[in-house]
Amino acid sequence: MSFQYLKPAGSTLFKDRYTQKVDENLQPYDQGIKGEVGIIGLPSSKSSISLSMAQEAPKTIRKALGAFSTYSLEKDEDYKDMKIIDFGDVAVHPTSIEETLHRLNTSVTEMLETKACEKHVVIGGDHGISYPSIEAFHNKFGRIGVIQWDAHHDVRNLKDGGRTNGTPFRSLLEEGILNGEDLVQVGIRDFSNAKEYGDYAKKQGVHVYTMGDVEDKGLNSIITQEMDRLAKEVHLIYLSVDMDVVDQAFAPGCPAVGPGGLTSRELLSSISQAAKHPLVKTMDIVEVDPSKDVRDITSRLAAHVMMRFMFQ
């Protein structure tokens, strides 16, 4: 018997014949396939010092891509033919953080070895995933420059709890994977960090821009200045976006929300500014906790961050 209106469960959503959603561009990785952008999920949040279910973010951010079309009105360009290769999610270890870090590093390395894409998006997880991810890019490309959007320095000591989502950049600096002068931190927020860690960042030569600096100098101006400087020294520029850099009003689904952060427009504009540079080949997006979100506000913003990076 044939049915007039019944369709397989979950497939009854309205479809406009002229509109393509961004999630329709995703194609699972298969040997020999080539695309413009590759994405990989690192669903790890066991190292978070705040209660977090950020391991669910890769799933919700992918889903959020389905809320947006491939057409840019401002550029009058449709990205419907862009091929986004989805490498899937890493199977993290259930108990061992060190084994999970190893698996994350191995998986990012394997993704790069396929040479399937020129640009890559790494979806966390908490900010601890940036340590193994940046190490993998360093091993592949050499000297790496990093622009870090964040309310926090993430250079906590490793004696109080080992590697956490508050230690990735300390690990990278102390292991010589990242030079201090090659790390730029923007959006660092008042009353959100210990003096010890601000002093440590300065001692390491990290270029730190607080929210006060953002207000005085303008975020895009800072990004342009630092991109020009890094481009003279490094082989690749990596964007690391901790979503708690955004004010809690625009990103309620972060484990460490707070007032006084960036607006969503400021974040998106600065990502677009950075992504234009030819040395910018990869980005990670971290610290989205879907269990704390409201109507997927934060996941949708993270999806837009991805789109600003991919659609250049």
Task: Answer yes or no: are the C-beta atoms of 298 and 288 closer than 8 Å.
Answer: yes
Tokens of 36: 């413009």
140 by Cβ neighbours in 10 Å (0-12 / 13-18 / 19+) ranks as middle
For residue range 159-209, what is the model confidence (pLDDT) as tens digits?
A: 898 898 999 999 999 999 999 999 999 999 999 999 999 999 999 999 999
pLDDT category at 7 given cuts 50, 70, 90 is confident
Token pair 């490309």 in the structure block, residue: 141
pLDDT category at 3 given cuts 50, 70, 90 is confident
For residue range 70-121, what is the model confidence (pLDDT) as tens digits?
A: 999 999 999 999 999 999 999 999 999 999 999 999 999 999 999 999 999 9
pLDDT at 51: 84
For residue range 205-248, what is the model confidence (pLDDT) as tens digits?
A: 999 999 999 999 999 999 999 999 999 999 999 999 999 999 99
For residue range 250-276, what is the model confidence (pLDDT) as tens digits?
A: 999 999 999 999 999 999 999 999 999
Does the domain at residues 22-310 carry the CATH identifier 1.25.40.10? Answer: no
**Total residues belonging to the chain:** 312
For residue 66, give every residue at least 6 positions away whose Cβ sits within 8 Å of its Cβ, in sequence order, or none: 21, 22, 23, 24
Residue 247 neighbours by CB distance under 10 Å: 22
Where are the chain's structural domains? Answer: 22-310
Tokens of 27: 């194609």
Tokens of 228: 């020009």
DSSP H helix total and E strand total for the chain: 9, 11
User: Global pTM?
Assistant: 0.96
Q: The dihedral of CA 105, 64, 264, 126: what is its sign?
A: negative
Token pair 């669910």 in the structure block, residue: 56
